[in-house]
């Protein structure tokens, strides 16, 4: 094959992230690939192998992981007497808003943006401390690595056909 392409579901609305890699000796096709994929969103050239696996887990599976978090949060809001529609809108707007802010502030790291909403001894800090005590980062990393392993299994199956 000349190229491997991995889009994600937001590509349906031209807000996707699309990764691709080209086969050795097919460098001439990179410009064409980027031109063809550009209308789908942000296009990233990725090296084949572990980098492409990490990209797949992040960009292609990432929307599913983010939606899982959003669903949990929506259900939690519903426990506090928000109806499903209102809960969904609050969550979608919160995620969309912070994503847009991060896009518009490219010189600030995600950590810097987080610090802007985290007051010492405040509500956000209490929630973040709880997440860190429960090793939320470890939970995510283990989940990401498990997804990488599955990607490898699927890759082996497709190569054996």
Give the phi and the psi of residue 41 in degrees, each rounded to 5. Answer: 145, -145
Task: Note the pLDDT tens digit of each residue in 144-157.
Answer: 999 999 999 998 88
Question: Which of 60, 76, 99 is the C-terminal boundary of a domain?
Answer: 60
User: What tokens does 17 get?
Assistant: 């992230």
Average pLDDT of the chain, as a whole number: 94
Residue 137 sits in the same domain as residue 90: yes
pLDDT at 160 over 80: no
Alpha-carbon separation of residue 122 from 55, 85, 114, 129, 130 (angstroms): 35, 29, 13, 11, 13
**CATH code of the domain in which 71 resides:** 1.10.3730.10
Cβ neighbours of residue 23 closer than 8 Å, sequence gap 6 or more = 1, 2, 3
Q: How far apart are CA 88 and CA 10, in angstroms?
A: 18
Mean per-residue pLDDT for 39-50? 95
Residue numbers of the domain that contains 9: 3-60
Mean per-residue pLDDT for 85-92? 99
What's the predicted TM-score (pTM) here? 0.90
β-sheet bridge partners, residue 18: 43
Residue 34 sits in the same domain as residue 12: yes
Mean per-residue pLDDT for 59-74? 98
Of all residues in the chain, the percent with pLDDT exceeding 70 is 97
How many domains is the chain partitioned into structurally?
2
Residue 161 lies in a domain: no
Residue 45 sits in the same domain as residue 106: no
Q: How far apart are the first and last CA of the chain?
A: 14
Residue 25 sits in the same domain as residue 75: no
Residue 78 sits in the same domain as residue 145: yes
Residue 75 sits in the same domain as residue 7: no
Q: Which pLDDT value is given to residue 159?
A: 73
pLDDT at 91 over 70: yes
């Amino acid at each position: 094959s000349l190229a491997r392409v991995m889009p994600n579901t937001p590509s349906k609305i031209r807000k996707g992230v699309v990764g691709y890699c080209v086969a050795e000796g097919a460098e001439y096709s990179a410009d064409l690939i980027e031109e063809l994929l550009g209308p789908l969103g942000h296009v990233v050239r990725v090296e084949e192998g572990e980098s492409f696996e990490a990209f797949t887990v992040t960009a292609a599976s990432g929307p599913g992981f983010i939606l899982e978090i959003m669903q949990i949060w929506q259900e939690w809001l519903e426990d506090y007497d928000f109806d499903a529609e209102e809960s969904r809108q609050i969550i979608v707007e919160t995620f969309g808003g912070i994503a847009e802010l991060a896009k518009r502030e490219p010189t600030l790291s995600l950590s810097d943006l987080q610090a802007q909403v985290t007051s010492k001894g405040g509500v956000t800090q209490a929630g973040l401390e709880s997440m860190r005590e429960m090793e939320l980062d470890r939970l995510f990393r283990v989940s990401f690595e498990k997804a990488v392993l599955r990607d490898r299994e699927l890759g082996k199956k497709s190569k054996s056909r």
